[in-house]
Structure formats: C-alpha cells, structure tokens
Amino acid sequence: MIERILTALEVAVLGLWAGAMAGFAFVFAPIAFRTIPDLSTFGTLVARVMGALWAFGAGCGALAVVAALGRAGARPARGPAVARVALVSVALATSWYTANSIVPRMEVIAAQVPGPLDSVPKTDPRRMAYDSEHAASTRVYGTAFLCVLGALALAAFGRNPAKG
C-alpha cells in the first residue's frame, strides 16, 4: 500500500513539474516573445517566470526524491531509485543554473537593446550575445526537461519488484 502511495506521489509531482516546464517552453515563451516587443520587459518577465519555475521544480523535485528513496527499501529497487534521484538532481541543478545564471545574463543584454530584438542586426554584438545566451538557455533547460521526463518514465514504469 505504501509503495502505491509513494509511486502515485512521485509520478504526480514529476508530471506536474514536466507539465509546467513544457507549458513554459512550448506555450508561454513563444507567445510572450511575439506579444511583448520590448526585449527588456520580455527579459524581466521571463526571469520572474523562470524563478517561479525553479521554486516549483525544487518543491516537486524534493518530493520526488523523498518518494523515490521511500520506494528504494528492497535491494532490487535501489538501482532504479538511484537513477531517478540522479535524474532529478541533474534537473534541479540545470534548472537552477538556467534561472540564476543564464537568464540574468540575458536580462542584462536585453536592457541594452532598445526596442524589439528583431530591429537589431544579427551581426550586432548585443544581438549575438543575446542569441548565444538564448541558445545556451535552450540547451540547459532542455536537459533539465529531459531529465524530469526520464525520471517520470522510470517512476511510472519502474515498479518495485519486491513489493509488486
């Protein structure tokens, strides 16, 4: 019974976290980028949302780790639990790095760009710096997202054979 409760908790919080990350990447960010022409305002908004996503992910990640460790009682379940905890840890570290390192650098650059980003030539050093940081953000955030999805798949399908 405890195994089922812990599995449900782990799957639920990882699913919520993955959904929030996907909602940001595939819905919010593209709409906000097209809607908010001022890059500085856009950067500030994205920084606040990324900070909130980091906090939400930290809560979800902590609960997922507790559930994974609770499910790891029997020796056969320890390997998958360690893998899930490792994936959640990488997701937490990379999402923290995105929110607290990359996005603030993007904000600084955005504050230097007057008006829409599209009005700045792609050869402008500010534009090149922003595009580089955005590419890094996409890669690091994507890594976090894939780690959460991997942990979710392992949590959902990696049942503890000792407890059924």
pLDDT tens string 117-135: 778 899 999 999 999 999 9
Q: Does residue 164 register a pLDDT over 60?
A: no
Q: Is the pTM of this model over 0.85?
A: yes
C-alpha to C-alpha distance for 116 and 93, rounded to whole angstroms:
31
DSSP letter for 93, please.
H
Residue 65 within a domain = yes
Q: Is 162 domain-assigned?
A: no
What is the tally of structural domains in the chain?
1
Range of the domain at 16: 2-157
Let me know if residue 164 belongs to a domain: no
Assigned domain for 21 exists: yes
Report d(CA 163, CA 24) in Å as an integer. Answer: 37
